[in-house]
Homo-oligomer: A and B are copies of this chain.
Amino acid sequence: ATVDKGVDFAQYFCTYAFLYHQKEMLSDRVRMDAYYNAIFQNKHHFQGKTVLDVGTGSGILAIWSAQAGARKVYAVEATKMTEHARTLVAANNLQDVVEVIEGSMEEVTLPEKVDVIISEWMGYFLLRESMFDSVICARDRWLKPTGVISSLARVIYGLISGDDDIRYPSHARMWMAPIRSGLGDKKINDYEGAMDDWYSFVKETKTVYGVDMSVLTKPFSEEQKKYYLQAKNAIKFMQTSMWSNLHPQQVIGTAAAVKEIDCSTDTVDDILKVRSTILSSITGGCTRLCGFGGWFDVHFRGSKEDPAQKEIELTTAPSIDNGTHWGQQVFLFYPPISVSEGDNLNVSFSMNRSKENHRLMDIELSGEIKQSSGEALPSFRNRFYVE
């Protein structure tokens, strides 16, 4: 799978070249607190060390690393954001410690190997953007055999290591849980509104202009269904997953981890495809299963030899007060399925990179529901596009 660099820049990197977008991440307090605490409550990982920040953006993680006592920080960024990062480094008087390097991680050359890799690489539902590939590449090329990876970007810190002797048991996890949600109703309402509108249009066109359009009702309905209920740029019958900031009470069953990543050892092959079985049971009363919510968390725990003084977790799970800009990805079923407490879901989860764009994901959810009575509901199979 070769990636056209020009297309990748136009489609992926372009947004990161705007301060507006960097500010959005810098304003995410949950994200910021997690990285900040991971660094400043574990200064021993930085003091006197050489650090690499993969995708430095505004330079924030590089600056914190320097403030925590790093000897040298290499801050690599693919976009022109480097100009602002350099300005910021100088304004905070760290130009002797932080060296901002413009280029893609895969292509730049560093003057030396590093002790620590720090990065904020997490996309929606963890793996969207496929940026972790670049961190793996940096680890394999630039981390000293004894180096620590503090991949905190939306907080992973100390997750990866090039050397099996020094273990960093930190990891990232992807979660899925059954949810209820009004988003599907809203979409169906919008679709039905468009159809109501169509019917009066057909009536009027016949009465006022003498042309019968009713024969186009079916194709119009199909076009609108596609628009409201399916992905725009994907193959038929594939829906687009949606961003949502779920309330914890919208989660109607137990959450299942669909993937654990060991950032010290996992390779690109380990994250290319995700296959898992979601076992979940419905909790609390009768309700409507409207689909699934997906989120992630990442941890910094250091290594056995050099553990974190303070373990930090960054979670993007549904939360009342601690929402993040990642929110959750929501995968909707049409129509919803009636379920009750104790019903058991057995769903096979499969995620691949989209063929058209390696930074986007195709997801399939297929499975069945066994009611607590023992009876099985009709099985389902739904495909989604994380765009």
A interface list, Cβ under 8 A from B? 18-20, 23, 26-27, 32, 36, 58, 60, 63-64, 67, 84, 87-88, 90-92, 194, 198, 201, 205, 208-216, 219-220, 223-224, 227
Contacts and interface: CB of A to CB of B under 8 A. Distances in A.
Q: Sorted from nearest, which 9 A-B pairs have the closest CB atoms?
A: A91-B215, A19-B220, A87-B215, A19-B223, A63-B211, A84-B216, A92-B212, A91-B212, A36-B209
29 contacts: A18-B223, A19-B219, A19-B220, A20-B194, A20-B220, A20-B223, A20-B224, A20-B227, A23-B198, A23-B201, A23-B220, A26-B201, A27-B201, A32-B208, A32-B209, A36-B209, A58-B216, A60-B209, A60-B211, A63-B211, A64-B211, A67-B210, A87-B216, A87-B219, A88-B211, A88-B215, A90-B215, A91-B212, A92-B212
Q: Pick from A194, A213, A215, A219 the residue with the most CB of B within 10 Å.
A: A213
Nearest to A218: B87
A216 B88 contact: yes
Contacts of A194: 20
Helix, strand, loop or mixed for chain A's interface? helix
A232 to B, nearest CB: 11
Contacts of A216: 19, 58, 84, 87-88
Nearest to A91: B215
A90 B214 CA distance: 12
A92 B26 CA distance: 60
Contacts of A227: 20
A205 B22 CA distance: 13
Given A32-B209, A84-B219, 15 more contacts: A23-B198, A26-B201, A26-B205, A27-B201, A36-B209, A60-B209, A63-B211, A64-B209, A64-B211, A87-B215, A87-B216, A88-B213, A88-B215, A88-B216, A91-B215
Q: How many copies does the complex hold?
A: 2
Contacts of A23: 198, 201, 220
A5 to B, nearest CB: 20
Contacts of A223: 18-20
A58 B212 CA distance: 12
A215 B87 CA distance: 7
Contacts of A219: 19, 84, 87
A67 B212 CA distance: 12
Contacts of A220: 19-20, 23
A26 B201 CA distance: 9
A90 B215 CA distance: 10
A157 to B, nearest CB: 16
Contacts of A64: 209, 211
A253 to B, nearest CB: 37
A310 to B, nearest CB: 17
A48 to B, nearest CB: 20
A60 B201 CA distance: 14
Contacts of A63: 211
A214 B20 CA distance: 14
A36 to B, nearest CB: 6
Nearest to A87: B215
A327 to B, nearest CB: 20
Contacts of A212: 91-92
Contacts of A90: 215
Contacts of A224: 20
